[in-house]
Structure 1
Amino acid sequence: MNHAVEIWQTLLRATVDKKHPWRVVSFCTASAEGPAARSVILRGADVEHKRLVFYTDSRSQKMSHLQHTQAVALLFWNPRSNEQLRLTGKAYPLTDDTIVNAHWQRIPDYARKDYATLSAPGAATGAGVVHDFSLARQHFTVLEFQAEHMDWLKLDREGHQRVGFALNRQTGTWDETALVP
C-alpha cells in the first residue's frame, strides 16, 4: 500500500467534503515572540505538486509570522479513524491576481464580510465591527503551503502504525520510512 498516495487522496477529499475531519486544520506559525496555532479551512490540494491552499486576511497575525519565517506546521486529526497527520513545509501568499481572483469568485457573498472589516483580525472591537465591502478583495489572501515532510500516525488497539515521509525533490515523490509509534 502506498501511504503517501492514500494520504494525498484523503486531503483532496477533505477540500470538497465539508464534514471531513481533515478539512479543519491546525495551522502553526512562529515569530520572534514564539509559536502560534490556529484553525484554518483546507481549500485546495494539488496532489502532483504536494501543495495545499488556505484563505486568510492579509492583516492577520499569521501573515506577519510568515514575514518572520515561512516555515509552517500543519496538524490534521481524524477521530473516526484515529489518524493524525503532521505536515511541515513553507507557506507563502499567492500574488498572481488571476489566480487570487479565481479563488475570490468562489467566496459566497455572506463570507466576503470576513475580509471587509475596517480593523484587522484580532483587533479590539470597541464600539463594534465596521465593514467596508469595497476593501474586502484587497484583504483576501490565498496562502499556498508547499509540503516538505509528513508524519502519519494511526492509533489502533492491535498496534499503532507510524510512517515518516520526506519529499524527494529530484523525483517529486515521497521517500517513506516506517517509524516507531
Structure 2
Amino acid sequence: MFETLDDVRKDAQTRLVGAMEDRRSPMHTPVVATADADARVMVLRHFAPWSLRFHTDTRAPKVAVIARNPQIGVLFYDKAAKVQIRVRGQARVESEGAVAQAAWEASDNFARRCYLGDGPGTLAAGPASGLPEAFEGVEPSDAELAPARANFAVLLVEIHQLDWFHLAHDGHRRAVFDLATGAAQWVTP
C-alpha cells in the first residue's frame, strides 16, 4: 500500500522509467490527447523527470494542433497493477536540432521507413500502409531513407501535473502533484 506522497511520486517515476525501457510494459503505449480532444496511442520513447518524448511525423494533423495550442494530456494504465497515471503539460514538436537528430539516429531503418510514405491521414483507395511499394516489408538502406528525415520529428511534453490513481479492494487511492510548484496532495478517488 502507498502511505506517503513521496511513495506515490517514486512509484509514478519508476513506472514511467519502466514504460520507457520495456516495450512489454503496459504503460509503454499511452494514450496522448491534444487540445482538440483527439486522442491516439503513441510509443513512449523517453522519460526523464518530468518530461516525455514521442516520435511523430511532421505532416500529422496533431503537429498543427500543438502549434496552435500546446496543451496536452497523456494517459498511462497498468491493468494488472491497477494503476492509472494521467499527466497534463505543454507540448512542442521539434524536427530540427540535437534532440530530433539523436532520436532519428537511434531509430533503426525499419522504424525510419514509416516516414517515407504518405503523410498520416492521406486518403487511400483501399487498405494501405502508405509506404512506397518497394518498402513494404523491406528494410530500406540509409541512402533510401534520406528523404524520410524531413518528415520525422519528436513530440516533447513538459509535464506540469501528474494524477496518480490506484484501484484497490480495500479502498482506492489518488494523489495529485503540481510539478511546477512542487505541491502534492491526496484527493478522493
| AA aligned opposite 1:120 | G
Name the residue aligned to 1:76.
Answer: 76
| CA distance in structure 1 between the partners assigned to 2:14 and 2:45 by the alignment | 14
Q: Which residue is 2:158 aligned to?
A: 146
The amino acid of 1:26's aligned partner reads V
Distance in 2 (CA, whole Å) between partners of 1:72 and 1:168 is 16
Measured in 2, the distance between the counterparts of 1:82 and 1:41 equals 20
Aligned-partner residue type, residue 133 of structure 1: L
Q: Does 1:59 align with 2:59?
A: yes
From the two aligned structures, give the one with the greater strand fraction.
1
Aligned length: 171
Could you say what secondary structure the match of 1:21 adopts? coil
Kindly indicate whether residue 16 of structure 2 is the aligned counterpart of residue 11 of structure 1.
yes
Distance 2:146 2:106 in 1: 17
Which residue in the other structure is 1:110 paired with?
110
TM-superposed CA distance for 1:46, in Å, is 1.1
- Please say if residues 26 and 38 of structure 1, whose CA atoms lie closer than 8 Å, have aligned partners that are also in contact: yes
The alignment-based identity, stated in percent, is 25
Alignment of 1:29-68 (within 5 A): 29-31=34-36, 35-47=37-49, 50-68=50-68
Please tell me whether residue 167 in structure 1 is matched to residue 172 in structure 2.
Answer: no
Alpha-carbon offset, residue 4 of structure 1: 1.4
Q: Work out the CA distance in 2 between the residues paired with 1:180 and 1:97.
A: 43
Equivalents in 2 of 1:15, 1:156: separation in Å? 25
Deviation by residue 1:149-180 (Cα, 9 ceiling, x = unmatched)? 111110011100000111134xxxx3211001
CA distance 1:160–1:121, change in 2 (3 Å): same
In structure 1, C-alpha distance between the alignment counterparts of 2:180 and 2:92, rounded to whole Å: 21
Displacement of 1:130: 4.5
State the Cα RMSD in Å. Answer: 1.7
Partners of 1:147 and 1:30 lie apart in 2 by: 15
Q: Structure 1, residues 73-126: CA drift from partner, whole Å, max 9, x if none?
A: 100110010111110001102355222111111111111111111x21111123
**What is the distance in 2 between the residues matched to 1:25 and 1:113?**
23
Name which of structure 1's ranges 95-104 and 106-115 shifts more when overlaid on structure 2: 95-104
Output the amino acid matched with 2:186: A
Preserved CA contact (<8 Å) 1:24 1:76? yes
- 1:23 counterpart SS class: coil
Q: CA deviation at 1:134?
A: 3.0
For the 8 Å contact 1:28–1:72, the answer to whether it is kept is: yes
Is the 2:96–2:153 Cα contact (8 Å) retained in structure 1? no
5+ residue gaps, structure 2: 133-143
- Contact kept? 1:23, 1:42, Cα under 8 Å: yes
TM-score (norm 2): 0.84
- Partner AA of 1:162 in structure 2: R
Counterpart code for 1:143:
L
In 2, Cα distance between equivalents of 1:95 and 1:110:
19
Gaps of at least 5 residues in structure 1 are none
